[in-house]
Amino acid sequence: MQMRGKWFKSKKMILPLAMAAVALVSGCTSGSAGLTVTKTVTTTAQVTTPVMTMTDFTSVIAAVRPSVVAITTEVPGYSIFGAYTQEQAGSGWIIDANGLVVTNNHVVEGASSVTVTLEDGRAFAAQAVYSDAYSDLAVIKINAQNLPAAKLGDSSSLRVGDWVVAIGNSLGLGISATKGIVSATGVSVTESTGNTLYNLIQTDAAINPGNSGGPLVNLAGEVIGINSVKISDVGVEGMGYAISIEEAYPILQQLVSNGHISRPDMGANFYTVNQAIASLYGLAVSQGALITQVTSNGPADTAGLRAGDVITAVDGTVVMTADGLQLLLQSYKVGQQVQVTYYRGSSKQTISVTLAEAY
């Protein structure tokens, strides 16, 4: 935050400065007159001000760079002229020495082939790719051992203003780095596909095409995020986003263990209720998650929920937005039964819903 104000001088400041002067007295005698000579030495108090030290980004980058990889994919496409193959570039980082690489789902989505190139120049074809579109995360398995795995940090302790470094295969031109600060934490961003990413780290470190999937690291050289999204618009600068490692790690563990994510779902689409929506549709409440569509034979449909109902709580936890409801549901397991409080018209009701696996 930039502080603005007026600098001014005041006569009232003279007294403290005068009091800060120190008189050092040394006595001696001269001749028989016993004349005393007084020597006065005046010094002024030293005022120290905080000094910003230069941050050594070179050692941070040197420590992390061997763990960062370039990813090249071939994605088949079709046009009026026939089939073609498009080559795309992205980034990733080694999470396990035995050949496990983390990247974004959108880096590998739809690819017919995936190639991982290490910092030392060695290239490996992907043996397997495990991905999750909902979280935009993916894990690539390559046939390599004794790789330099990156260290993981604690994204929950990040503060706005902390230095961070984004490293990746920017523009497909090779591994490079950019620096910036944490601009915000706990951010939600809805992608052009309509999917919402949660608990993101916003940074002004440049995240360019090709950086996707690369690590965002702190000054200890620890991965605290996975670079994912950049907001590009006229007049918009310095708005890049990374998936926090706190959000990503449990998902990455599931991908490695199971090859997919088992995610609970209610079988319905939701829209956030606010005062304007409540007035427009004549709803009894001004906050909650409005059901806009119910999947036939899904959990909500089976329980008796229908479009137009407004969910206000799950197991007693208040639901204020559609995003809040989706996040709350992720804290449950597939097959678990929850008590849903909702409004149908002006009638408040509670019903049991058994969560199913999302597809």
> Which residues participate in catalysis according to the annotation?
106, 136, 212
Give the three-class secondary structure for 163: strand
Among residues 234, 82, 217, which one has the least CA distance to residue 155?
Answer: 217
Report which secondary-structure segment, H or E, holds 270. Answer: strand 268-273
CA distance 55 to 327: 37
Residue 137 near residue 102 (C-beta atoms within 8 A): yes
Helix or strand holding residue 200 (H, E): strand 196-203
Q: How far apart are the first and last CA of the chain?
A: 44
Helix (H, G, I), strand (E, B) or coil at 277: helix
Dihedral pair phi/psi, residue 188, rounded to 5°: -110, 135
CA distance 332 to 243: 21
d(CA 346, CA 283): 8
Q: Which of 118, 120, 107 is nearest to 74 (CA)?
A: 107
Which residues, other chains included, contact 47 with Cβ-Cβ below 8 Å and sequence gap of 6+? none
Query: Do the beta carbons of residue 322 and residue 272 sit within 8 Å?
Result: yes
The stretches of the chain forming alpha helices (DSSP H) are 14-19, 57-64, 105-108, 245-258, 275-281, 299-303, 322-329
